[in-house]
Chains A and B, each alone.
Chain A
Amino acid sequence: MTGDGAFAISQSDKRPMYLQIMEHMKQRVAVGDWAEGQAIPSIRQMAVDLQVSVITVKRAYLELEREGVIVTQQGKGSRVASTPGLGGRLREQELEQHLEQATRIAAMLGMRPKELEHRLREAGDRIAGEPVAEKGTI
């Protein structure tokens, strides 16, 4: 049992565990650790590796299957979907989610799209001037 040292359930992350596991698995695909069509660990093995309950991992696999990221065949296990460009699509999906979230908050503050655009540019300028250590914190 090698475990998956790169995965850590975060208690400060407000999302449910199955979502964190989904995110982790999508990242494996996005960064190219898991190639399109590649076999991935069984649900039970993944549960042991991640040290979380089988039922939580099962849910993550089911949702990922619904999203077309993995394919599970009865008795044959699961593999990454053989969709060309899947990794790139997943990386873009992450950006879209953050943009949607920002748009929602902006709407709540009564901000017009033009104004949001301007704020996005400002944020870009700020990040360009930041030390590396700060990058990637949301």
Chain B
Amino acid sequence: MSELAIRMSEVSKKYPYFTLDNIHLDVPQGQIMGLIGPNGAGKSTTIRILMGLVHPDRGEVRVLGQRMPQNQVAAKWDIGFASEDMRLYDSMTVGWHMHFIQSIYSNWDAAYAGLLLKRFGLPAMQKVKGLSHGQRVKAALLLILARRPKLLVLDEPTTGLDPVARHEILRELTGVMADEGRTILFSSHHTQDVEQISDQITFIDRGRIIDSMDKEQYLDRWRRLRLEVPNGIELPSLPGVIEVKRSGRLAVAIANAFVADLPNAYETSGARVHAVESMTLEEIFVANVEHSREEVEA
């Protein structure tokens, strides 16, 4: 088995209006973990806890083998962290920042930094205050990528970016994976990005982890069945089916634990299966959040 780059167990944190509840999260080394969930679900809080920026009320956090927050100084040499509220100095240039980081981190790769500057189309001599949002995000990412950290922790790295900039960033992140000793954890609203580059997926909603597993296995469990149901036939409730919507003779069933027998079971009940479709992560995201909220309220 591969080593774990991140291990959070039984982590809880209570705020007046929000509780992160019993979070268990394992991220294997050499993989990309995508963290998804609605606004306010607890993605950023989870990231802050694992970076040692927020102290949990309970639970244990280990990052690259170091206990957090106790050993965060040692761990952070090998972690590259970027979040929205991380600021660059407005009156300084991108080049100044590059020199600054280089003077602190001995593993700074100047050749790679130069390459990234070109690939991201960043003007080295321009002051940060003159940069666009996309350029700032890319500059911040350059500063951590060029250190070649063992672990990248990125809170919403592609939010607010145009499609070209997003694509540039996804390319660099998948490029990091050429080295199987490196690991990435990132959060995103862009389900498309998560679906494309993640090896593992973790779903968070309302402070709880709903699902956390291998992406291929996860996508494979979900299917949408398009059915034709003759008048007078009642659709049976079948295991693994979380939602059925019917209108006239047409019905759509969504399964979150699909098995090859499921279409046959509908056929046996008198319905006709027109199609069995795989679902995008975006479609699963919406269905899953709605379903888990119904379960909580029920």
How far in angstroms is the closest Cβ of chain A from B194?
9
Q: Which residues in B have their C-beta under 8 angstroms from that of A47?
A: 174, 177
Q: Which residues in A have their C-beta under 8 angstroms from that of B187?
A: none
Chain A interface residue number, banded: 20 to 34
CB of B170 closer than 8 Å to a CB of A:
yes
Q: Which of B61-69, B87-95, B130-138, B211-219 contacts A (4 or more CB under 8 A)?
A: B211-219
Q: Which residues in B have their C-beta under 8 angstroms from that of A11?
A: 192
A sample of 26 inter-chain contacts (CB < 8 A) reads A1-B175, A14-B278, A16-B219, A16-B278, A17-B196, A18-B216, A44-B177, A44-B180, A47-B174, A51-B170, A51-B196, A52-B174, A52-B196, A53-B177, A53-B197, A53-B199, A53-B215, A54-B30, A54-B31, A54-B177, A55-B31, A55-B200, A55-B215, A55-B216, A58-B216, A59-B216
Q: Which of B32, B180, B199 has the most CB of A within 10 A?
A: B199
**B→A interface (CB under 8 Å):** 30-32, 170-171, 174-175, 177-178, 180, 192, 195-200, 214-216, 219, 274, 277-278
Q: Which residues in B have their C-beta under 8 angstroms from that of A72?
A: none
| Extra inter-chain contacts (18) besides given A52-B196, A53-B32, CB under 8 Å | A14-B277, A17-B196, A44-B177, A45-B178, A47-B177, A48-B174, A48-B177, A48-B178, A51-B197, A52-B174, A53-B174, A53-B177, A53-B197, A53-B215, A54-B30, A55-B199, A56-B216, A58-B216
A126 to B233, CA, bound (A): 42
Main secondary structure of the interface of A (DSSP, over half): helix
A48 to B216, CA, bound (A): 17
A15-B278, A16-B278, A108-B274 as given contacts; A48 in contact with B175, CB under 8 Å: yes
Contact A53 B198 (CB under 8 A): yes
Q: Which residues in B have their C-beta under 8 angstroms from that of A54?
A: 30-32, 177, 199
Q: Which of B215, B216, B278 has the most CB of A within 10 A?
A: B216
The A54-97 residues at the B interface (CB cut-off 8 A) are 54-56, 58-59
A21 to B165, CA, bound (A): 24
CB of A127 closer than 8 Å to a CB of B:
no
Q: Which residues in B have their C-beta under 8 angstroms from that of A16?
A: 219, 278
A52 to B32, CA, bound (A): 10
CB of A9 closer than 8 Å to a CB of B:
yes
A136 to B164, CA, bound (A): 28
B196 to A, closest residue via Cβ: A52
Q: Which residues in B have their C-beta under 8 angstroms from that of A108?
A: 274
B197 to A, closest residue via Cβ: A53
A17 to B174, CA, bound (A): 15
A59 to B278, CA, bound (A): 16
